[in-house]
Amino acid sequence: MTATGIGAPVRRKEDQRFVTGQGRYVDDFNRPGQTYAYFLRSPHAHATIRSIDTGPAKIMPGVVAIFTGDDLAADKIGGLICGWMIHSKDGSPMKAGPHPALAQGKVRYVGDHVAVVIAETLAQAKDAAEAIVVDYDVLPAVVDTAQATKASVQVHDVSPDNTVFNWHLGNKDETEAAFARAKHVTKIDLVNNRLVPNAIEPRAAVGEYDFGTDNYTLYTTSQNPHVARLVLSAFIGVAPEHKLRVIAPDVGGGFGSKIFIYAEETVCVWAAKKVKRPVKWTSDRSEAFLSDAHGRDHVTHAEMATDENGKIIGLRVHTTANLGAYLSTFSSSVPTYLYAPLLSGQYDIPAIYCEVDAVYTNTAPVDAYRGAGRPEATFVVERLVEKTARELGQDPAEFRRRNYITQFPHATPVIMTYDTGDYAASLDKALEIADYKNFQQRKQESARRGKLRGIGFSSYIEACGIAPSQAVGSLGAGVGLWESAEVRVNPTGSVEVLTGSHSHGQGHETTFAQLVSDRLGISIDQVSIVHGDTDKVQFGMGTYGSRSGAVGMSAIAKAIDKVIAKGKKVAAHVLEASEGDIEFKDGRFGVAGTDRSLAFGEVALQAYIAHKFSGQDLEPGLKEGAFYDPTNFTFPAGVHICEVEIDPDTGVTSIQRWTAVDDFGVIINPMIVEGQVHGGIAQGVGQALLEGAFYDQSGQLITASFNDYCMPRAIDLPSFQVGMTVTPCPSNPLGIKGCGEAGAIAAPPAVINAITDALGHEDIAMPATPQAVWRAAQKARMPMAAE
Amino acid sequence: MYAFEYHRPTSVKEAAGLIGQVEDPKFLAGGHTLLPTMKLRLAGPANLIDLGQIAELRGIERSGDTLAIGAMTKHAEVANAAEVKEAIPALAELAELIGDPHVRNRGTIGGSVANNDPSADYPAACLALNATIVTNRRKIAADDFFQGIFTTALEDGEIITQIVFPIPTQAAYAKFRNPASRYALVGVFVAKHADGVRVAVTGAGSNGVFRASEIEQALSGNFAAEALDGVTVSEAEMNSDIHADAAYRAHLVSVMAGRAVQTAVARG
Ligand SMILES: Cc1cc2nc3c(=O)[nH]c(=O)nc-3n(C[C@H](O)[C@H](O)[C@H](O)COP(=O)(O)OP(=O)(O)OC[C@H]3O[C@@H](n4cnc5c(N)ncnc54)[C@H](O)[C@@H]3O)c2cc1C
């Protein structure tokens, strides 16, 4: 291992730039002659547009142009797409309503795009937007997930009862049989609360068109610029793929919300050509609340069957998933293939059956948000496991241990084949760090102070490195899920890595360089990582689902292997040895059994000057590319233990201890991994205690600013005790599993299990706000008064 | 934000003089309420009169049994001033609980009192401490000043210059923060004066800051937390929103009052 190689807690190379304000985000790009776009958004959740009068607005100062849905239609610009086809139980395809970038005839949620004003300044664009007269025929709205199919309101013509699909997975008959012979059945009703992603950098786009070359450029806050280009060209049709350059520069957080291809960037590219000037749009925080794709929003009933030995023998789940007013880019995959296949958790459950009804409502579209489907699955499994253990009078840790999968590979009844893991090892370590054996003592000590203490477990599993392409293709994905890399060695021996992954907080400039450093024996300062520009990187699938380590770095590793192989050929010529005798070790190419060797940099130089070999039998240069398609998902897993103390007088929950023991396989940079764990837990605690997006019955978003939508703050979180166990992943060359979402997946059930433990009853929903907990604590004190 | 004319007077007289001269004027203090509303285009005054350069509006002064704080004094100045910590520590603690460091270093006591946000902290202190709101035209007792949500006795163009607080024998403020905004979901200021106990509640009332007579009565005989055992406040007048309904707010008023009394008594 070099000092900057795999496993070294190297400080992040990119942080110097970020913390000194040198980062360049989309909003920092200002193009000559730039104009500003402002979107007029619907104030109504559901309305027919009778007419739009832009006349008075068009003549206001500074206005360059105003466009509506009719203008896009006239230019044959297509609607936004959903890239994952789901079929219902009866085989029928999901019912996808039209999703125009600017409304055509109807608006379907508050924040829906009605028109765009393009002006010399943003203030002028806003002034003009106020002068646009829209005649709405306001319709009743449907917002409630559980009631959507029963409502008299119809969001899309294609779906009379607001159903997008009725999907299922697993084996119904076997599951029914398991329940029939069960000794005990535990039931639970759960709501997985809707969340607003709230990346610190709001979305933004700058569209530009060059009349000389007929080239379009889009600067956009994207987690996957190549996918954005593909969708914008092949499906929406704003520009041909080879004429469109998409640049996703520094991006300030995504959490999924920047995977998707939205109306705003579509309009900016298209309008740039129309107005013959660059068009810039930057979301403000209020727009972000209304129009970034939200996360979660499930209503679930689930049941777990156990036998006389306390073994889980069956699980059945019914979920209604709210997808909002339109199908966002990957929305349909989240409550289906990213959800139900995780319902086996870490447990050996022979029979599982899950039904998912996806519905339309007059709310913002819902799509992937940190964890995407897996937090929802983990919440179901871990709440249910905890409740089962309590009903059976068993220790929740031991009940889990008894049901853990111990033999690998393990095929679950819901598609997945877990490759490796050691769940008991993580549990043991977590129990140790959490000082579980002295919990009762701490609980009594709290009781003496009038406080309720509780402990909650979450023994989660997730599937990361979303892939392989063949598998996801058979499940309805519109894209392949491999990754690409190109390793360019310069004559001086420095290296540029072009990757299809995209960093928006993950620290790729450091971790990817560590891999190169490790493999080629050069310092990370000799390596630069190039990403986020479709003119530089040929193609890539981007970053989400904790895939950049397992898939993106594996592609780099594969390309590095090719570089080393080519380097051996070069070295053989220079050292006048046979290629088979060349070894590459510690950054040097040497002839086996001799002291003759060349440093990596010397071989690089020889490759480019090509003096020592004929360019006929060996090509000059040292540059290799690779596409890597994994053989399986990866399965990070671990145990989180949360200990809370509740003040029954106020309902305030304070997290006293947090233990996280995760198995992420091989770790490239433990410091960055810990950071990912911390951030993930903070987000999960946010969901459990603080965050919730709420619409009123008319479809107005009540939690539309930080005044009402509560984000976690440092004071809401304890100091985390983070431990690791390692079972290397056999499905990729680096043994990496992925760590980006684990905290957000593990945390919510750990918190709620701790609160319900403290309260002594199960009746608390997320977010467990002080008011909710106070009320639940009242009920715990006075069981007779409970309704 | 809509366009506006910006004025920066250097005396109260000059500021008052602009009133009547310019159209649709608005005073700007710390701007931490006014500017966000203007950015959201919910307010669009044609003329902004910035009070920031008026030296006579700043400063903290103790004279005898009262503490006078200039309207443009920032929350952080009140929180950190030795005079305040010594005379009315509860007031310094209250200021320290407002918002975050940015807010405390911009927001002013005059702006907060003039605004009378139903969840703001200072109105509770003014009412419980029986403060006098001094303006460029008159002196107004706190009991007469706060007249409901965002409503005060101030006339158009009237400028708060000072708030004068009588120094109590014992006092404390207990705040239950709104989890999201960190304003008061319920804030209770208890103050024991030579002539009786005053208790003011912010955040909870549907009509803004108010005095809790049940609690005042219970404490006037015995200024101790036990005196509040079993004392409840009616939920009829309580505010209700997604963070807290009326019943929970009413409950928190009793709890926070008890905690405030405990702190006040412990301080001696
Ligand atoms: C993020 C955030 C968190 C906050 N948290 C809290 C909190 O926890 N508790 C709390 O109490 N407050 C909180 N505030 C409000 C803050 O305390 C503000 O400072 C206060 O609301 C207004 O004071 P200002 O000096 O900023 O006034 P401005 O915003 O400048 O003015 C407010 C209003 O008062 C008028 N005005 C100002 N000064 C005078 C004067 N001398 N005479 C007459 N009229 C005047 C103005 O014309 C305007 O109408 C918060 C604010 C923010 C932005």
Residue B94 near residue B191, CB atoms below 8 Å: no
A217-230 per-position pLDDT tens digit: 999 999 999 999 99
Q: For chain A, give the number of residues.
A: 787
Residue A74: predicted pLDDT: 98
Per-window interface: B 196-255 vs A, CB < 8 A: 242-245, 248, 251-252, 255
- Answer whether residue A765 shows pLDDT above 70: yes
Assigned CATH class of B59-267: alpha beta
Range of lowest pLDDT (A43-52, A393-402, A535-544, B185-194): A535-544
B198 CA: distance to closest CA in chain A (Å): 23
Residue partners of A783: CB distance under 8 A and separation at least 6: none
* CA dihedral of residues B164, B170, B173, B174 (deg, nearest 10): -170
Measured from the Cβ of residue A91, the count of other Cβ atoms closer than 10 Å reads 6
Q: Beta strand pairing status for A279-282 and A35-41? A: parallel
Task: Kindly report, residue by residue over A361-373, the tens digit of the pLDDT.
Answer: 999 999 999 999 9
The CATH number corresponding to B5-50 among 3.20.20.60, 3.40.50.2030, 3.40.50.300, 3.30.43.10 equals: 3.30.43.10
Question: A-chain residues within 8 Å CB-CB of B251?
Answer: 774
Tell me how far apart the alpha carbons of residues A737 and A546 are, in angstroms, rounded to a whole number.
8
Give the count of Cβ contacts less than 8 A between chain A and B: 39
Ligand 1 atom 27: residue of nearest CA: B111
Helix, strand, coil % over all residues of chain A, rounded to 5: 30, 25, 45
Q: Which stretch of DSSP H or E encloses residue A518? A: helix A508-520
Amino acid A84: pLDDT: 95
Determine contact: A286 vs chain B, CB below 8 A: yes
CB atoms within 10 A of CB A50: 10
Per-residue confidence (pLDDT) for residue A786, from 0 to 100: 36
Q: What is the pLDDT of residues B143-184, one digit of tens each?
A: 999 999 999 999 999 999 999 999 999 999 999 999 999 999
% of chain B beyond a pLDDT of 90: 99
Nearest Cα to A281, choosing from A397, A129, A125?
A125
- 3-class secondary structure, A559: helix
User: Is B101 near chain A, with CB under 8 Å?
Assistant: no
> Which residue of B176, B179, B248 is in closest CB contact with A690?
B179
Mean pLDDT for the stretch of residues A658-666: 98
Phi, psi of A440 (to 5 degrees): -60, -35
Helix (H) or strand (E) holding A745: helix A742-759
Chain A residues touching B245 at Cβ < 8 A? 771
Listed residue (A681, A685, A646, A684) closest to A770, CA to CA: A646
- Kindly report the length of chain B: 268
Query: Which residue of chain A comes nearest to B179, CA vs CA?
Result: A710
Nearest to A292 by CA among A319, A324, A336, A337: A324
Q: Under an 8 A CB cutoff, do A774 and B176 touch?
A: no
For atom 53 of ligand 1, which residue has the closest CA?
B32
**Nearest chain A residue (CA) to B249:** A771
Instruction: Please indicate if any CB of chain B lies within 8 Å of the CB of A771.
Output: yes
Q: In a mutational test of the pocket of ligand 1, which residue from B22, B40, B54, B103 has the highest number of ligand atoms less than 8 Å from its CB?
A: B103
Instruction: Mark residue B157 as left, alpha or beta (left: phi above 0; alpha: psi -120 to 50; beta: remaining).
Output: left
- Ordered DSSP codes for A635-678: --EEEEEEEEEEETTTTEEEEEEEEEEEE-BS-S-HHHHHHHHH
Cα separation, B233 vs A142, whole angstroms: 38
For residue A681, how far is its CA from the centre of ligand 1 (angstroms)? 34
Kindly report the CA angle at B115 between B110 and B119, in degrees rounded to 5? 110
At residue A590, the pLDDT reads 97
Which of B19, B28, B32, B156 for a ligand 1 pocket mutation test, highest count of atoms within 8 Å of Cβ? B32
Contact A661, A520 (CB under 8 A): no
Protein residue with least CA distance to atom 37, ligand 1: B111
How much is the average pLDDT of A676-686? 97
Crossing angle of helices A396-403 and A374-391, in 10° steps, is 110
Cβ pair A707:B41 closer than 8 A: no
Contacts B1 to A, Cβ<8 Å:
123
Interface test with B, best of A40, A771, A773 (most B CBs within 10 A): A771
- pTM beyond 0.90: yes
Put simply, whether B181 touches A (Cβ < 8 Å) is yes
Write down the domain spans for chain A: 31-139+201-252+258-291, 298-467+632-786, 482-628
3-state secondary structure of B215: helix
Question: Using a CB-CB distance cutoff of 8 angstroms, which residues of chain B are in contact with residue A123?
Answer: 1, 3
Say if A654 is an interface residue toward chain B (CB within 8 Å): no
- List the residue whose alpha carbon is closest to atom 4 of ligand 1: B99
- Angstrom distance (rounded) from CA A379 to CA A507: 28
Distance from C-alpha of A727 to C-alpha of A422, rounded to nearest angstrom: 7
Consecutive H or E run containing A417: strand A417-418
- Pocket-testing residue among B108, B116, B140, B175, ligand 1, by greatest number of atoms within 8 A of Cβ: B108
- How far does residue B169's CA lie from ligand 1's centre (Å)? 29
Mean pLDDT of chain A: 96
Ramachandran angles phi, psi of A139, nearest 5°: -110, 155
The overall average pLDDT reported for chain B is 97
Domain with CATH 3.30.43.10 in chain B: 5-50
Closest residue in A to B180 (Cα–Cα): A710
- Checking if the pLDDT of A484 tops 60, the result is yes
Q: What does the pLDDT read at residue A785?
A: 39
CB contact under 8 A, B1 and A123: yes
Contacts of A773 in chain B (CB under 8 A): none
Q: What is the pLDDT of residues B87-133, one digit of tens each?
A: 999 999 999 999 999 999 999 999 999 999 999 999 999 999 999 99
**Are both A298-467+632-786 and A482-628 of the same fold?**
yes
Predicted local confidence at residue A478, as pLDDT:
87
Nearest to B53 by CA among B79, B33, B27, B17: B27
What is the Cα A535 distance to its own chain's centre?
25
Residue A252 has pLDDT above 80, yes or no: yes
Q: Of all atoms in ligand 1, which is nearest to the CA of residue B122?
A: 11
Q: Which of residues 238-277 of A touch B (CB under 8 A)?
A: none
Candidate from B1, B40, B179 with C-beta closest to A770: B179
Calculate the alpha carbon distances from B169 to B61, B86, B175 in Å.
18, 12, 20
Do B179 and A126 make contact, defined as CB atoms within 8 angstroms? no
Q: Which residue of B has its CA nearest to A692?
A: B242
Quick check: A135 pLDDT over 70? yes
The CATH class that applies to domain A482-628 reads: alpha beta
Res. A424: pLDDT tops 90:
yes
Tell me whether A193 touches chain B (CB under 8 Å): no
What pLDDT is attached to residue A480?
A: 87
pLDDT tens per residue across span A72-108: 999 999 999 999 999 999 999 999 999 999 999 999 9
B49 Cα–ligand 1 center, Å = 15
d(CA B264, CA B268): 6
Tens digit of pLDDT for each residue in B64-100? 999 999 999 999 999 999 999 999 999 999 999 999 9
pLDDT of residue A2: 67
Give the CATH fold of the A298-467+632-786 domain.
Answer: Aldehyde Oxidoreductase; domain 4 (3.30.365)
In chain A, % of residues over pLDDT 70: 99
Q: For residue A772, what are the CA distances in angstroms to A648, A689, B168, B185?
A: 11, 10, 37, 14
Chain A residues whose beta carbon lies within 8 Å of the beta carbon of residue B252: 650
Query: What's the topology of domain A31-139+201-252+258-291?
Result: Aldehyde Oxidoreductase; domain 3 (3.90.1170)
Confidence of residue A471 (pLDDT cuts 50, 70, 90): confident
Residues B239, B245, B250, B252, Cα dihedral to 10°: -110
Task: Tokens for B36, please give them.
Answer: 């966000």
Nearest chain B residue to A778, by CA: B248
**Per-residue pLDDT tens for A426-449?**
999 999 999 999 999 999 999 999
What does the DSSP assignment read for A56-82?
Answer: HHHTSTTEEEEEEHHHHHHTTPPPP--
Q: Quote the CA–CA distance of A757 and A453 in Å, as a whole number.
A: 8
What mean pLDDT comes out for the span B40-51?
A: 96
pLDDT at A787 > cutoff 50? no
Atom of ligand 1 nearest to the CA of B108: 25
Compute the average pLDDT of residues A149-163.
96
Pocket of ligand 1 (CB under 6 A): B 26-34, 51, 71, 98-99, 103, 107-108, 110-112, 114-115, 117, 120-122, 159-160, 182-183
**Beta-strand pair A298-306/A184-192:** antiparallel
- Residues of chain B in contact with residue A768, where contact means CB-CB under 8 angstroms, are none
pLDDT of residue A468: 87
Residue A499, pLDDT > 60, answer yes
The residue behind tokens 């809509």 is: B2
Instruction: Specify the residue with its C-alpha closest to ligand 1, atom 43.
Output: B159
Residue B167 DSSP symbol? P
Taking the Cβ of residue A234 and every Cβ of chain B, the question of whether any pair is shorter than 8 Å is answered with no
Each residue's pLDDT tens digit, A185-204: 999 999 999 999 999 999 99
Delimit the CATH 3.30.465.10 region(s) of chain B. 59-267
Is the CB of residue A649 less than 8 Å away from at least one CB of chain B? yes
> Could you tell me the distance, in angstroms and rounded to a whole number, from the CA of residue B35 to the centre of ligand 1?
10
B256 min Cα distance to partner chain A (Å): 9
Atom 5, ligand 1: residue with shortest CA distance: B99
pLDDT at A782: 56
> A305 falls in which pLDDT band (50, 70, 90)?
very high
B4 touches chain A (CB under 8 A): no
Burial class (CB in 10 A: 0-12, 13-18, 19+), A150: exposed
Alpha helices in B42-197 (DSSP H): 75-80, 82-87, 89-96, 101-104, 109-115, 122-128, 142-145
